[in-house]
Chain A
């Protein structure tokens, strides 16, 4: 198993390098002088002053040189400094990781659980009215932009009903669980809606596909209850596509977090990224993109490992 994990790790190195190069090149193609970002809008700098500033920030070196310098720094854990306020990029990212992890993991865990449960539920009531209703819900959910769901949720549950706050975040290190939940509930629910819809559809389809197999008929013939047949015999065999769907949609979930954080003023990486984009803060953009790429490659690897754990035939390949 360890060998398998190690192999997967090696396969991902070229991809990682390609990501580094592309992010770097793309960001450096951007129009606009990053030096301008330091200067208050109404003060005019002379060209000499700008040149000094450019030199201080290392922006006057050739692209490949800057790339090599940057790689070396990244390897030693130094992601550089923000243009905007001179703060360390790594520090900025670290202070925003926790809120995003909290949001994404609650969305992932709650969404997976609810999506799979609804999928099992609707497959057992195949073609009933409730099955059709759930299908319509899934279609509407995947046709809605995440930010619209966020705005509607806020309008309904915060402004009209007053059940939840319109935004803000409670630090898990300081506050009690109820306060955390009070702030987390609405953003996490909004984030997980599409995840639930997609997972529900795949679970349902997977189960319906498995249900026609001979071993299901055998299990039924043995006199097992419908519940035992679904949960013990059908579900484990439908699990592979479900894990694939969870893995594949995780990056969409992280992307959705950008919108959810913006709508609910949730101080996570998504908001920081938007801030970086708006102020063309290259080191920050590169740092976050890099982190996300690593996280997603890691998740892909994890998915592969989970496959071989669910289905031992896979690791032999």
Chain B
């Protein structure tokens, strides 16, 4: 089996989708600027300047300043770094929990499967935001805790996907062959089942990332997510809950709104591209 040629073929296929490539370029650009924002911009995101508060966009402050004179451009990208970080970390957490429990449920079946999957069904009954808010009330708020809250919300979907895949792999002949050769459960799970769930996990990661940054934004908007002194795109938008800011100072909240939408949009495009890339039905070329 030649892995590099499969990878190359998939990349060719991914590349052929204009929307996916557009999404990838936009996403990487935003991620790059956010990560290196403190080196790229002249202003510090937390520097207070009471001489220049609530300035509209100008040559000096490209996106204006807020109530205590902080530069909005620098703040928006610093907030983006937190938003992206929470997105990536909570997807990683969801993958960890979901893959583990999903593999257990799918591989062993029986009461293990029943117990895990009934719990999954139940969590997925509730509107996500209700689960998020309840978890936030129990676990607390702040950047790290928000990662845990969103991770705990998102793993059931991973669990379902992995279980379904492991369930079908388990019955395949090469697994039966491995078992007759005396392979242990752990060996079969990690060497045979897990590699075959990669495609599902890759697709989930991109689309789950979209849900995660939207969830973080929602929590922070309600005041239950990222807390001062950190700020995320959601918490910058929540400033607009004050009517005067909403009406008179749109430059404070609008950029964060635009960046959330553009980031989620590009990640959605990437996700759809990946889904087509890994879908055997579209593998005709």
Contacts from A to B (Cβ < 8 Å): 14-15, 18-19, 22-23, 26-27, 29-31, 139-140, 142-148, 151-152, 154-155, 159, 166, 251-252, 254-256, 258-259, 262-263, 273-274, 277-278, 280, 285, 289, 292-293, 296-297, 300
Closest to B124 in A: A251
Question: Which stretch (B46-54, B84-92, B93-101, B125-133) binds chain A?
Answer: B125-133
A255 to B128, CA, bound (A): 7
B125 touches A252 (CB 8 A): no
A277 touches B136 (CB 8 A): yes
B240 lies within 8 A of chain A by Cβ: yes
Knowing that A148-B261, A255-B129 touch, tell me 16 more A-B residue pairs with CB under 8 angstroms.
A15-B125, A26-B135, A143-B265, A145-B234, A145-B260, A147-B221, A151-B246, A154-B246, A155-B247, A251-B126, A255-B127, A255-B128, A258-B130, A258-B222, A277-B137, A278-B223
B221 touches A143 (CB 8 A): no
**How many residues of B sit at the interface, in one of the four size bands?**
35 or more
A19 touches B125 (CB 8 A): yes
Q: How far is the CB of B130 from chain A (nearest CB, A)?
A: 6
A21 to B234, CA, bound (A): 32
B127 touches A259 (CB 8 A): no
B3 lies within 8 A of chain A by Cβ: no
Closest to B133 in A: A277
Majority secondary structure of chain A interface residues (helix, strand, loop or mixed): helix
B217 lies within 8 A of chain A by Cβ: yes
A47 to B118, CA, bound (A): 42
Residues of B within 8 A of A148 (CB): 217, 237, 257, 260-261
B60 lies within 8 A of chain A by Cβ: no
A31 to B142, CA, bound (A): 15
A151 to B242, CA, bound (A): 11
B67 lies within 8 A of chain A by Cβ: no
A30 to B119, CA, bound (A): 20
Contact of B130 among A31, A147, A154, A255 (CB under 8 A): A255
B250 touches A155 (CB 8 A): yes
